[in-house]
Structure 1
Amino acid sequence: MWDPAKYVQFGDYRQRPFFDLTGRVLPDDPRQVVDLGCGPGNLTATLAARWPDARVVGLDSSAEMLATAEHHRQSAPGLEFRLGDIASWAPSADTDVVVSNAALQWVPGHPELLAGWLKALKPGAWFALQVPGNFTSASHILMRDVAESPKWAGKLAGVLRHDEAVALPAQYLEIMLDAGCAADAWETTYQQVLTGENPVLDWVRGAGLRPVLAALPPDDAAEFEAEYGARLAEAYPATPHGTVYPFRRIFAVARKL
């Protein structure tokens, strides 16, 4: 289960990559826009505001996220939200823009799916994706170290995906070019200054730590958090200005030729 309130706790930081991504998507009067993994819907609503004449569909597999997204439905006449699995989605003949922001890392085998989606898109259609590129950062390495320790390995075996959760920017670029697209791929590391007591732990609770917490009963989850949180506090010490958390993101945008 997702916690929409926790997910948007660091709203400005979580939203910035979305706007950096969609700023490179430049269609002419799209008729249908799809947001794969729309989450709480606040960013999907900005797509509807940008293209008010389009039908904008947000797709997500979390009923909790979509319950929050429903609050945005009235913000634009063409905005709607659907419950569904990204892996089962396919573009329709009138799909002009597809956006997936911080979602495909949860979909095993998504590079192969991406290749199929791009081939199915009509000429002139756009596909834009953004995924985290921080699986080798201290926050994720420490999470895996604790999960793989003798104390937790039996309870958390197979819970954390990391080796092939995302592709490299060059791999996304190659997939897009092979599918007959003009494409652009890049990466950015945001130097985020977080505040609060152990704010990096608060950050990862919103997404990356979710599978661990979901796999453990409440008492075990609290114990895991305490152990992991102590390691995070050491790896990301507070400064007079806050706690600096480098956050690498991977972007790729394609336009079908």
Structure 2
Amino acid sequence: MPEQSRSAAAVWSEPGFAAAWAGADPAGEHDLLALPRRIAARLIAAELPAPRVVVDIAAGPGGFLEVLLDAFPGARGIWLDASAPMRELAGERLARFGDRVDFRLGDMVDPAAAGLAEGGADVVLSSRASHHLSGGELRAFYRGAAALLAPGGWFANLDHIGPVDAWDRRYRAVRRAMAPANRQAAPPHHHDYPLAGAAEHLDALRSAGVLDADIAWKAFFTCLFIGRAAPAQPAADPTRPHP
């Protein structure tokens, strides 16, 4: 990780900051992330009804992983994040899953360094983290995440994008008006502006090898990017004559 990104990421290791950020998420009817998380689970289940391993990269408090583990009771979850305080918060939230969750500290751009095996995950998730990365880091993130996928595995990234200026202003104004009055503001932290647009995310995902990819949901400046890796090729029949 470049020094600038490493310095910006240091704030996530502060317990007070991590707790304040997690506490700023709206709940109940104001939780705008509940629907795209469920959409991701349903899309995956339609073609992969029984995933065995779900990896959540830069998992934070574990909200996305929680939805997938509820949707797939037979799946084991791997939580990965660089923040030890987030590990504590996620441990509380995911405690009901017991030994179905394996917690690992590691860099989102290099998940293999945390011991995650290439090709070992049926589902890879990430949420509200990749927008902190520069262009080169973003592509490295998608490559590292895609490398974890087993053939036919699914990748889902729920993250913020950078709309053009006029639409960014409109979205932010309307979103503020729709937020609950008692919502706690998230503490300020580094973003690598200008944020990558939706087309850049899709291009990076497809360049990483997940060619079957799309935007399954979008609200304001947040998108659910989702795609499926190519399935395994059937083994050649040695008795079949070559054309």
* 5+ residue gaps, structure 1: 142-158, 190-246
1:24 is aligned, of 43, 54, 69, to 43
Match of 1:115 in 2: 143
Matched, 1:174 2:203: yes
Q: Tell me the amino acid that sits aligned with residue 113 of structure 1.
A: F
Show CA shifts across 1:88-130 (max 9, x none).
Answer: 2135232110011111112332123313542553311111112
Q: How many residues align?
A: 183
Give the distance between the partners of 1:57 and 1:63, measured in 2 at CA: 15
Q: CA deviation at 1:68?
A: 1.1
User: Helix, strand or coil: the match of 1:86?
Assistant: coil
1:126 is aligned, of 154, 158, 171, to 154
1:252 is aligned, of 222, 225, 236, to 225
**Percent identity between the aligned chains?**
25
Matched, 1:4 2:30: no
Tell whether the 8 Å contact from 1:98 to 1:128 is kept in structure 2 after alignment: yes
The 1:7/1:125 distance shift into structure 2, 3 A limit, reads same
Q: CA deviation at 1:6?
A: 4.1
Give the distance between the partners of 2:146 and 2:34, measured in 1 at CA: 25
Tell whether the 8 Å contact from 1:126 to 1:256 is kept in structure 2 after alignment: yes
Q: CA deviation at 1:66?
A: 1.4
Show CA shifts across 1:174-219 (max 9, x none).
Answer: 3444425322125523xxxxxxxxxxxxxxxxxxxxxxxxxxxxxx
Q: Tell me the amino acid that sits aligned with residue 60 of structure 2.
A: G
Give the distance between the partners of 1:39 and 1:182, measured in 2 at CA: 27
2:213 is aligned, of 172, 183, 192, to 183
Give the distance between the partners of 1:68 and 1:22, measured in 2 at CA: 23
Q: Tell me the amino acid that sits aligned with residue 201 of structure 2.
A: Y
Give the distance between the partners of 2:71 and 2:128, measured in 1 at CA: 20
Q: CA deviation at 1:29?
A: 1.2
Q: Tell me the amino acid that sits aligned with residue 69 of structure 1.
A: A
TM-score (norm 2): 0.63
Give the distance between the partners of 2:94 and 2:142, measured in 1 at CA: 28
* 5+ residue gaps, structure 2: 1-13, 173-189, 231-243
RMSD of aligned alpha carbons = 3.0
TM-score (norm 1): 0.60
Tell whether the 8 Å contact from 2:120 to 2:148 is kept in structure 1 after alignment: no
Tell whether the 8 Å contact from 2:138 to 2:204 is kept in structure 1 after alignment: no
The 1:180/1:34 distance shift into structure 2, 3 A limit, reads closer
